[in-house]
Structure 1
């Protein structure tokens, strides 16, 4: 087999890159170790920046998102028993975010790929990139017990934090930066109406809570828990009681409860790999960086990586120029580190840390008070939340 761009990973970043390349007439093949059904079972991000929405439109996969997604012009910060709205649109010349689940994004991109004849190989075992430090890279994989070889011009590693792409990078060149947070998010999805039409981020002495949604009838809620907590120790009733304790009283009274349809505990970490290019191998999305979900940046950062790499590949095949490819890593990292900073800041602002101490707690309270009463501080939050320009 031969293609121009081999894409490892059929998550949103791999599918989005593949569709943009297909639309531009650049041949590509996606290799995915899991089944299609398993990929669609991953329940993750749900807040999209305008840049991500525009990319879905450009890929021809944005129609359902535009029809069913929920445009949000603000968020609420809850602390000290009250809610304070951050007017995202008013502070950023009308910019908004779109609430639309990652599962739906993935489904839309899969459907578009099938419609346009894109090649995706699912259940591709033992995927491995080779010779990407030279002019003739290739990828090997096993399918139905047979080892196959995919020759290509470039390899895009869109296979996530645990994927093979970053693991294949030479250790002598790869440098990583990481912070692991001392808590996780216990999250549930329930078929109940959201408590509010916009997201609520709550800081409470018992810990952080987030009220989010996937639609007007499906809610997504989270509470901060210690890392050692077990999911079996959190029956639905206990979760709902804990959530309400962390919200202002008037908000807690309006929480609609019901059986969870999904429940999980996710650890939080910040992680960046540098560089994001190794010869003809490029890291995209979670393969190169992870952010805590507090700032809603994970999927959106993957989208900006895709933007930069797609533009660079288009320049290479259209003009014969390698300038974009040479600039990809630094260009992407400049935006990644700004998003890492914002996600770290939001995490430290809204969570209770076990080692904060009395002084640190007073500083956090002062920061929150300043944030909601200073237009300049609110604007900084809003600009980062809706997404920095590409």
Structure 2
């Protein structure tokens, strides 16, 4: 049987960062990931990092490429029909965001863990966790055709929404809160320079649109659509025409280019409580999902593991259980704040169908006008978007 101090199920950004933070404290870990390393590094995911996330990655020594290639943004545009309003983050909060794709974060963490001799096992199947309510939990799995067992002091479930760790918590202990939205996002990546220097969140009568970016030559766009929309219903030119309509603003023009990635993502809010049972701790998407409107999923996951790594380090250093005992409640306080902000941004910017849709749209107009005329309202948006302090 293999042995480690912390078994980490899931080799995405949360699992990799946790492994790295533990390594810096002299704590051994093994990371188990069901996908290949190449697949994990190429997954198209979020690209907006909060100020606290950027600071954390620099502090733990994996921010060199982020510092070179990340694009710092000191504000964001919110648009209602053709009227565009800038929310100046730096002026209102003294902080900013950085555009740097999740796959770049994963690549940086992978390279650092491998350089440090980290144990990362990819393409692992049939993962199961055992004895989590005892002092000797373990994980069984199949790797390279061989059945193996990994004994640990603790298990960290960083294995995403469809992973096995959350389901290992007994049903009579676990409580789930969920909201499924009646729309999804059609997302594209295109080989074209961004048409804006900062992100644009647009509320149009035809639905929501977002203009983001990945680099000086790659742009990222989203369109509100039905959650089960077949991607075949959206030929490239129709996408560009719809983006041009929903993002239209006087004196502004949308650049177009070849589209090389298209997908439709349903939207939900999800929280499973508690984030700890016995020696098992949940982090990231295994415990919570937020709608992508507030760009919070990756940031929230990394905030979880930052807190977990600190609690584990305190335990191994002093024997205290305080940080471990407080982990779930402390994380959930941040989770629900982020859930509220993500819901609020979604309700501000999306079209809601139904008998109350005209009433809802008037409320959205009122909220937009309030952002335009109230520094306090704009500061609230800016403060939540750039991210609350990690600790």
> Which category of TM-score, normalised to the shorter sequence, fits these structures?
over 0.9
Give 1:250 shift.
3.4
Q: Does 1:386 align with 2:386?
A: yes
Distance 1:316 1:217 in 2: 46
Q: Could you list the runs of 5+ residues in structure 2 that have no partner in the other structure?
A: none
Using structure 1 for the length normalisation, give the TM-score. 0.98
Give 1:138 shift.
0.6
**CA-to-aligned-CA distance 1:50-109 (integer Å, 9 cap, x gap):** 1111221233211000110000000001113121000011111x2000100000000000
Q: How does 1:139-150 map to 2 (within 5 A)?
A: 139-150=139-150
Distance 1:157 1:229 in 2: 31
Distance 2:300 2:81 in 1: 32
Identify the residue that residue 309 of structure 1 maps to in structure 2: 308
**Aligned partners of 2:244 and 2:254 also within 8 Å:** yes
**Aligned partners of 1:176 and 1:271 also within 8 Å:** yes
Identify the residue that residue 47 of structure 1 maps to in structure 2: 48
Give 1:331 shift.
0.2
Q: CA RMSD in A?
A: 1.0
**Aligned partners of 2:72 and 2:96 also within 8 Å:** yes
Identify the residue that residue 299 of structure 2 maps to in structure 1: 300
**Aligned partners of 1:78 and 1:248 also within 8 Å:** no
Distance 2:201 2:305 in 1: 29
Q: How does 1:155-170 map to 2 (within 5 A)?
A: 155-170=155-170
Q: Which runs of 4+ in 1 moved over 6 A?
A: none
Q: How does 1:242-257 map to 2 (within 5 A)?
A: 242-250=242-250, 254-257=253-256
Identify the residue that residue 82 of structure 1 maps to in structure 2: 83
Q: Could you list the runs of 5+ residues in structure 1 that have no partner in the other structure?
A: none
Give 1:360 shift.
1.9
Q: How does 1:238-387 map to 2 (within 5 A)?
A: 238-250=238-250, 254-355=253-354, 356-387=356-387
**CA-to-aligned-CA distance 1:287-309 (integer Å, 9 cap, x gap):** 00000000011000001101110
Identify the residue that residue 69 of structure 1 maps to in structure 2: 70
**CA-to-aligned-CA distance 1:213-270 (integer Å, 9 cap, x gap):** 001111000110112321011111010000000013436x521111111100011100
Distance 1:347 1:311 in 2: 33
Identify the residue that residue 16 of structure 2 maps to in structure 1: 15
**Aligned partners of 1:20 and 1:58 also within 8 Å:** no
Identify the residue that residue 131 of structure 2 maps to in structure 1: 131
Structure 1 357/254 Cα, relative in aligned 2: closer, same or farther at 3 Å? closer
**Aligned partners of 1:83 and 1:248 also within 8 Å:** no
